[in-house]
Chains A and B, each alone.
Chain A
Amino acid sequence: MRPTAQRQTGAATLLLVLGLVLLGSLATAWSSRAVLADLLVSQSRGQAQQARHAAQAALATAQADVLQAWDAGDLPTLFANSARLMSCPNDLPGPRWQCTRLPLSGGQELSGWSLGALAARDLIAGPHVWQLRGWAQHPSGQGQAKVRASLFVPSVAPVPTDSPNTALLLNGCLAAPVSPALQVCPLAATGQSCVGTATASAVHSLRVPDTDRNGQLSAEERQHCLPLNAHHLPGGGSLTGTAGAPGQGPCNRAAWRQVLGDMTDSQLQAWSDAQALNGLSTSTQPARSVYWIESPADWTQSLGTPQAPVLLVFSARACALRCPRIAPHVQIHGTVFVDAQCSDDKLQGWQAGTIDGLLAIEGGLPALGGAGRVRARSERLAALALHWPQGIDARRPQRIAGSHREGGP
């Protein structure tokens, strides 16, 4: 007799066990996943911190490059090397920003991280404020960081804030008789030149001969040095001066120091060249603001606007034989500086065009060859009105407090 079929109960047990094992495995896998994720997060955080430190290293190396160039008296070459000039990042648009890749002479690699750095500066409002940007990248693509900081760099110097508020500044005298074509207007209370009461001197000489050697300048001595009459001064204004040695004395660049202070020829020239090299011109926005001229050719281009005055310097080289004349139709808004090096004969027959701002001459002014109108403006030195915090030592590079940033712009 065949045994009757037994009820099979093992399947339930089997299923139960399998279910328990499955549940246990799932729980274990889930906790392992959490642990693995935590491990990845900690590795990622460590990678990010290392990237940050590497970017900081790039920035420090860039700062050392600046200091080395400063020690060698070679600051301009950092931006003058055309092989290293580069397009600026997108947040620094236009021709006003100039960017250069720094050599990182301290090393472009650190613990497997590739380092890079650039310096950027605003050629209009801040040629002395360099923004350094450092970055680090891992060749594997796992990690990158950026950091930036700004520093003051003495590539230019602050200009005096107490320069004479005059329209025409001389380091010498005017030769009599003064051409009737010359007209000088001082600043006026109305704000419009040649209209209203004068609020400053029209002409100031830094070297009025003290002919009677009494240590004081009389009205006659000033008049003798600056023989102007009411026709030359349609807006009124006084003729002022400071005593100089009688006769010819060494040229002490007094006009330069009054207007441009401690700024050197090479600093101004480098600034002007940088603006030209970066594509700034009269037609760009913003327009070029500093012109250093070494050519003896006469000047035929109007420059500047009342909102954006310029600085135009005819250098000593331009005045080697004869200082460039300004064509009669030319109007300059801003400051014109003529470095005649106290050789008045280089300005024989000179023409001034129309200058709305300040005309400063390192020397006297002999007979003019044509018309010249100089009308004082309060914003005459706006092109040089850079931001210099009070109390800063403008003679050395230094960090700008609070400028350190991490990450992209």
Chain B
Amino acid sequence: MKCAGMAMVEALVAAGLLGLGLLGASRMVHVALNAAEHSRQLTQAQELARQALNCGLTGDSACPSQAQVTLPPITYTVQLDHTPMGTHLSQITATVTWQRHGRTEQILWQTRRSNLPDWLGVSSLDD
């Protein structure tokens, strides 16, 4: 005589296990997506900081001290500061700020620039 209801039990157990597994997997996917998003934003912010520092290193007065850059869906605020350190040296700071899930994220990069004059010419020195 067939045991009534065993197929249902089996199905319920199977469904439960599958559900648990999918729950875990979806949680992992969620974390991975967050991490990917964070990584992408960080890369974009680093690139903006690098561009700002490179502009500051050229000594071009046209480098904006503050700018808003939108790389959808995030808007980054890029700030460039020059701090004199004596007669021949200045410190350049690039700060990139953006909002992520209600929190303010920020990276700060620094370098320095001297006012050593360039010699406009070609040197045959093998350097």
Contact = CB atoms under 8 A, between A and B. Distances in A.
Interface of A: 3-4, 6, 9-10, 13-14, 16-18, 20-22, 24-25, 27-29, 31-32, 35-36, 38-39, 42-43, 45-46, 49-50, 53-54, 56-57, 60-61, 63-64, 66-68, 71, 105-107, 110-111, 126, 129, 131, 150-152, 387, 389-393, 396-403, 405
Nearest to A20: B18
A43 B28 contact: no
Contact of B109 (A43, A45, A111, A129): A111
23 contacts: A9-B7, A9-B10, A10-B6, A14-B14, A21-B20, A24-B21, A27-B25, A28-B29, A31-B32, A35-B39, A36-B35, A42-B42, A61-B89, A63-B116, A67-B116, A68-B86, A152-B119, A387-B124, A392-B119, A399-B116, A399-B117, A400-B119, A401-B123
Interface of B: 1-3, 6-7, 9-11, 13-14, 17-18, 20-22, 24-25, 28-29, 31-33, 35-36, 38-39, 42-43, 46, 50, 53, 57, 85-89, 91, 107-125, 127
Nearest to B25: A28
B17 A18 contact: yes
Contact of A53 (B14, B53, B87, B118): B53
B111 A54 contact: yes
Contact of A60 (B6, B109, B111): B111
Contacts of B121: 389-392, 401
Contacts of A56: 57, 111-112
B127 A60 contact: no
A64 B88 contact: yes
A106 B39 contact: no
Contact of B116 (A20, A25, A151): A151
Contacts, number: 182
Contacts of B1: 3-4
A150 B87 CA distance: 21
A390 B112 CA distance: 31
A21 B124 contact: no
With most chain B CB atoms within 10 A of its CB, the pick from A46, A71, A397 is A46
B114 to A, nearest CB: 4
A389 B124 contact: yes
B108 A61 contact: no
A17 B32 contact: no
B28 A32 contact: yes
A111 B94 CA distance: 12
Contacts of B110: 53-54, 57, 110-111
Contact of A401 (B33, B113, B122): B122
B127 A50 contact: no
Given A22-B21, A68-B88, A399-B117, 10 more contacts: A3-B1, A14-B17, A18-B17, A28-B29, A32-B35, A42-B43, A56-B57, A60-B111, A64-B112, A401-B123
A149 B84 CA distance: 22
A42 B39 contact: yes
Contacts of A6: 2-3, 6
Contacts of B87: 67-68, 71
A39 B35 contact: yes
Nearest to A393: B119
B38 A39 contact: yes
Contacts of A392: 119, 121
Contacts of A405: 127
Contact of B111 (A4, A9, A39, A53): A53
In the A-B complex, the 5 residue pairs with the closest CB atoms: A21-B21, A10-B10, A57-B112, A64-B89, A63-B114
Contacts of B43: 42, 45-46
A156 B73 CA distance: 59
A53 B109 contact: yes
A67 B22 contact: no
B118 A387 contact: no
Contacts of A391: 121
Contacts of B88: 63-64, 67-68
Nearest to A68: B88
Nearest to B26: A28
A14 B13 contact: yes
Contacts of B117: 396-399
Contacts of B115: 67
A35 B35 contact: yes
A24 B86 CA distance: 61
A392 B125 CA distance: 13
Contact of A17 (B18, B28, B35, B122): B18
Contacts of A60: 89, 111-114
A150 B50 CA distance: 24
